[in-house]
Amino acid sequence: MATAVKAKQVTMAQAINRALRDALAEDPSVHVLGEDVGRLGGVFRITDGLTAEFGEDRCGDTPLAEAGILGTAVGMAMYGLRPVVEMQFDAFAYPSFEQLVSHVSRMRNRTRGAMPMPITIRVPYGGGIGGVEHHSDSSEAYYMATPGLRVYTPATVEDAYGMLREAIACDDPVVFLEPKRLYWSKSADFSLDAPAAVAPPGKAVVRRAGTSATLITYGPSVPVCLEAAQAARAEGRDLEVVDLRSLVPFDDETVAASVRRTGRAVVVHESTGFGGPGGEIAARVTERCFHHLEAPVLRVAGFDIPYPPPMLEKHHLPGVDRILDAVERLQWESEYVAGGAD
Amino acid sequence: MTVTEQSRRTAKAPRTTRTRRTAKATAPAWQPRTDPAPLLPEVEPHRVLGTGAKLDPELMSGLYAELVRGRRYNQQATALTKQGRLAVYPSTTGQEACEIAAAKVLRDQDWLFPSYRDTLAAVARGLDPVQALTLLRGDWHSGYDPRECRIAPLSTPLATQLPHAVGLAHAARLKGDDVVALAMVGDGGTSEGDFHEALNFAAVWQAPVVFLVQNNGYAISVPLEKQTAAPTLAHKGVGYGIPGRLVDGNDVAAVYEVLAEAVERARSGGGPTLVEAVTYRMDAHTNADDATRYREDAEVEAWRAHDPVALLERELTERGMLDEAGIEAARAAAEEMAAALRERMNEDAVLDPMDLFAHVYEERTTQLREQERLLRAELEAAEADASEGDQH
């Protein structure tokens, strides 16, 4: 039985490759550009075979300059093309920030809708692969803080395909954050030839239903939270796991509905806690669910430090134990007594 | 003999005993990618006026009328800042030859990529001046549909519009369309990383794009010598494999000629050109700036004697291609434009605060809809307060 399942298994990397291939095949205005995306097929092999199939004009290497890649993509979009650019690593995307913040995110608004920017910016992000400095950043907070951008991040093979297709078809610019440590995660249910429909972007999904508390998470932390929920059963906790999928737009409705059901919430992400997405999410949950909350919304995030060297990253990344410790701090019994004994 | 041939020869290892013995250690063959000599700009800025070169009477009288109109436009826009009708105006007084020539060398299907200083080029291309000035009036960030007029929105972040021009030109070429993009930038902008990346991409892709650098001497207050150690800004093309051209930016006939050649070169598949037009910003950086803090009157006066409008006017008059009646007609047309602009800018802008939420995304997000409701409620409350106040 194990062999049969293995034969059908598809990785997230393969699903993303297929999404790009299908988009290129269906829409002649789609163009893939970036560093090493041509003959090599990308450093993660995400664009493998695309240049051979569609030619260099449709999937081609650019000079090594991220601002130039995104800046020229703006011009291509102005002319009616639908560029899909690859930023090789999270931290390598920073040179392109001015184009992103000053033009990509604002062009539609600036021109009162006359000139939308249907650009997809693929960014392999996050840690856990033993990368040296500048290869493991969680840069989502920067993107979330920029109005005009959509920010998607898949956690499953199915979403990787479906959400990327949606992103490319979308007339708004989408920062598509690919959790690089999930590139080799597999799904036995996903078929490359008949991809299943996924929830529309902008909708969060409950990955595991539970009653005790809600873990609100996304991207690379989703499998970690599912594992934590599994482990929590032994401790008598039944945790719900909400996969946000889209950080912008943010699905307040699904998140708040879950927290109202469970009465407790922990936000989990790799990004730094201070100024990170968790603060915004905790505030939104509190604003909407205050009378349903049994405890303050807690955050389990990366430390407020530059991303650590690979030999130390395990201490930085939110793991099952740190998540379960946070769950234990959700004031299951009235621990605080005003003026109580010291 | 080309440089390439030369280098092939010199790339061979010299015949010494040592290299004969260790022939396998010879360095792999090397040669420069292109011959740099044809990329070098003129030694002196290219000039046409005053050289006795042949002039096209029809083209010259058209350019003259546009220069006069452009000068009047600059004066009128500056006056509008003093009347509070424009939030700010970065003037191109003294640079009209570049602005007009850039607009006039393009065909209808071509694209213009202006910086925030280049509203005159947009107007000379036929854009309604009120629409061109929207950003500077402050009622919106841009006032026109770029695809309708093939003029990109004015770009305030320096040089960031240059890669857009390259991408658009590249996209047009991929589609097989006959489109050239002309991108405008100042001397200060050439220090930005986007200038470098745009030129590099353009050269590698052989994109049909023309870069026009108006070297007006100053980036707000910082003079060129603090901006670059390059021999000229036009020389910067050489490092990318792009030919550089150096032209007198106040000689409209010369700027037109050089830009027209560059556009034709791009159109026929010859790739990008970098043009440096040497000019001078007669006014301060904007109405909010005080240029006397960083430059001498004598310098300004020297440039006043090389004024682009006067230069052409004198030349055409001397050649008998322009008479008093022609001058008067051009001035009258310019006055008419200024009066119409003044009148329309004196009307209050029509503002709808709900526009703030309308175009951020294709569809408003839930959060933006909530914020829109909040603002609407605030406005309704303010209106109710006001009408209550009227009743008392």
CB < 8 Å to B350, chain A: none
Assigned domain for A92 exists:
yes
Amino acid identity for residue B369 in this structure? R
Nearest to A164 by CA among A142, A179, A186: A179
Are A129 and A211 members of one domain? no
Q: Does any CB of chain A come closer than 8 Å to the CB of residue B39?
A: no
Residues A148 and A80 in one domain: yes
Q: Could B146 and A103 be called an inter-chain contact, meaning their C-beta atoms sit closer than 8 Å?
A: no
How confident is the model at residue A216, as a pLDDT? Answer: 99
Nearest CA in chain A to B166: A72
* Sign for the pseudo-dihedral over CA of A242, A247, A251, A257: positive
Q: Please name the residues in contact with A340: beta carbons below 8 A apart, sequence gap of 6 or more.
A: none
Tell me how close the Cα of B368 comes to any Cα of chain A, in angstroms.
Answer: 10
A27 touches chain B (CB under 8 A): no
CATH of residue A239: 3.40.50.920
Buried b (16+ CB within 10 A) or exposed e, A77-114: bbbebbbbbbbbbbbbbbbbbbbbbbbbbbbbbbbbeb
- A95 at B interface, C-beta within 8 A: yes
CB atoms within 10 A of CB B164: 30
B391 against A19, higher pLDDT: A19
Question: Which residues on chain B are in Cβ contact (under 8 Å) with A172?
Answer: 361-362
Q: At A174, phi and psi to the nearest 5? A: -120, 125
Judged by CB atoms closer than 8 Å, whether chains meet at A67 and B153 is answered as: no
> Mean pLDDT over residues B18-28, rounded?
67
Residues A170 and A297 in one domain: no
CA atoms within 13 A on the CB side of B83: 14
B137-170 residue pLDDT tens:
999 999 999 999 999 999 999 999 999 999 999 9
* pLDDT tens readout for residues B214-240: 999 999 999 999 999 999 999 999 999
pLDDT in tens, A285-306: 999 999 999 999 999 999 999 9
Check if the beta carbon of residue B305 is closer than 8 Å to that of residue B297.
no
Beta-carbon contacts of A225 under 8 Å, excluding residues fewer than 6 positions away, are A207, A215, A217, A239, A241, A268, A323
Closest Cβ opposite residue A114 in set B146, B163, B179: B146
Burial B29-66 (b: 16+ CB within 10 A, else e): eeeeeeeeeebbbbeebbbbbeeeeebeeeebbebbbb
Interface of B with A in 166-195 (CB under 8 A): 166-172, 174-175, 179, 181, 193-194
Give CA–CA dist B183/B201, Å, rounded: 14
Interface residue A74 vs chain B (CB under 8 A): yes
Residue A339 lies in a domain: no
Percent of chain B past pLDDT 90, that is, above it, reads 90
pLDDT at B389: 77
Q: Which residues of B touch A249 (CB under 8 A)?
A: 361, 365-367
Q: Same domain, yes or no, for A169 and A220?
A: no
* Structural domain includes residue A334: no
Whether residue A181 sits in one domain with residue A70: yes
Q: Please answer whether residues B251 and B97 qualify as being in contact, where contact means their C-beta atoms are separated by less than 8 angstroms.
A: yes
Nearest chain B residue to A146 by CA: give it.
Answer: B360
User: What is the per-residue pLDDT for A337?
Assistant: 54
Pull the structure tokens for residue A38: 């041509």
Of the candidates A187, A221, A249, which is a domain's last residue?
A: A187
Judged by DSSP in three states, A8 sits in helix
SS3 helix, strand, coil % of chain A, rounded to 5? 40, 20, 40
pLDDT value at A129 more than 80: yes
- What are B244-284's pLDDT values in tens digits? 999 999 999 999 999 999 999 999 999 999 999 999 999 99
Are the beta carbons of A73 and B167 separated by less than 8 Å?
Answer: yes
Say whether pLDDT at A123 is over 70: yes
Taking Cα atoms as reference points, which of B272, B209, B198, B167 lies closest to residue A104?
B167
Domain boundary (A124, A158, A187) is at A187
In single-letter form, the type of residue at position B181 comes to A
Asked if residues B291 and B303 have their Cβ atoms less than 8 Å apart, the reply is no
Residue A40 maps to a domain: yes
Cβ within 8 Å, pair B194-A202: no
Does A55 reside within a domain? yes
* CB burial string B71-81: b at 16+ within 10 A, e below: bbbbebbbbbb
pLDDT digits (tens, 9 = 90+) for B162-173: 999 999 999 999
Burial class (CB in 10 A: 0-12, 13-18, 19+), B309: buried
DSSP category for residue B231: S
Which of these three, A153, A187, A221, is where a domain ends? A187
Instruction: State whether B163 and A74 contact (CB < 8 Å).
Output: yes
pLDDT (average), residues B306-327: 98
The reply to whether A23 and A116 lie within a common domain is yes
Query: Does the structure show a pLDDT above 80 at B22?
Result: no
Q: Are B91 and B138 in contact (CB under 8 A)?
A: no
A3 occurs within a structural domain: no
Strands (E) located in chain A: 10-11, 30-34, 59-61, 82-86, 120-125, 150-152, 174-179, 186-187, 205-208, 213-217, 239-243, 246-248, 265-272, 298-302
Four-point Cα dihedral B69, B73, B79, B83, nearest 10: 130
Q: Does A71 touch chain B (CB under 8 A)?
A: yes
Taking only the tens place, the pLDDT of each residue in B325-345 is 999 999 999 999 999 999 999
A27 shares a domain with A133: yes
d(CA B169, CA A78): 10
A12-68 residue pLDDT tens:
999 999 999 999 999 999 999 999 999 999 999 999 999 999 999 999 999 999 999
**Same domain, yes or no, for A246 and A277?**
yes
Query: Residue B14, SS3?
Result: coil
**Residues A168 and A121: beta-carbon distance below 8 Å:** no
The answer on pLDDT for B298 being more than 60 is yes
Nearest by CB to A72, which of B167, B175, B366? B167
pLDDT, residue A3, reads: 44
Residues A145 and A212 in one domain: no
Rounded mean pLDDT of chain A? 95
Long-range CB pairs of B231-234, under 8 A, 24+ apart, other chains included? B232/B41, B232/B276, B233/B187, B233/B190, B233/B274, B233/B276, B234/B41, B234/B42, B234/B274, B234/B275, B234/B276
To the query of whether residue B294 is one of the catalytic residues in this protein, the response is yes
Q: Residues 264..293 of A with a Cβ closer than 8 Å to B: which?
A: none
Strand-pairing partners, residue B99, are none
Question: Would you state the pLDDT for residue A201?
Answer: 85
Residue to test with chain B: of A57, A66, A78, most B Cβ within 10 A: A78
Which residue, among B317, B345, B346, has the nearest Cα to B330 in the 3D structure?
B317
The tens digit of pLDDT for each residue in A187-207 reads 988 998 888 889 998 999 999
- pLDDT classification of A334: cutoffs 50, 70, 90: low
Gap between the Cα atoms of A124 and B33, Å rounded:
34
Find the residue in B nearest to A147 (Cα). B360
pLDDT score at B3: 40
Asked if pLDDT for residue B103 goes beyond 80, the answer is yes
Cβ neighbours of A15 (radius 10 Å): 27
Task: Please tell me whether residues A13 and A42 are part of one structural domain.
Answer: yes
Q: Is the pLDDT of residue A99 over 70?
A: yes
| Residue A34 belongs to a domain | yes
Question: Which of B141, B200, B358 is closest, CB to CB, to A110?
Answer: B141
Q: According to the model, what pLDDT value does residue A196 have? A: 84
Tokens of B195: 């200038």
Query: What per-residue confidence (pLDDT) applies to A333?
Result: 84
pLDDT of residue B9: 43
pLDDT band, very low/low/confident/very high, at A2 (cuts 50, 70, 90):
very low
Whether A80 maps to a domain, the answer reads: yes
| Of B174, B275, B362, B116, residue with least CA distance to A73 | B174
Total count of domains within chain A: 2
**Which domain covers residue A320, as residue numbers?**
205-328
Q: How far apart are CA B174 and CA B19, in angstroms?
A: 48
- The interface pTM score, or ipTM, of the predicted complex is 0.94
Q: Does B358 touch chain A (CB under 8 A)?
A: yes
CA dist A126 to A176, A313, B316, Å?
13, 11, 67
Instruction: Determine contact: B198 vs chain A, CB below 8 A.
Output: yes
Same domain, A89 and A183: yes
CATH number at residue A39: 3.40.50.970
pLDDT (mean) for A315-341: 84
B365 touches chain A (CB under 8 A): yes
Residue entry with tokens 């029809």: B58
pLDDT at A338: 55
Tokens of B129: 């001046």
Q: A76 and A148: one domain?
A: yes
Summarize the confidence of residues B335-364 as an average pLDDT: 97
Decide if B306 is catalytic.
no
pLDDT of A341 strictly over 90? no
Residue A238 pLDDT > 90: yes
Alpha-carbon gap, residue A68 to A231, rounded angstroms: 47
What residues in A contact B169, CB-CB < 8 Å? 75
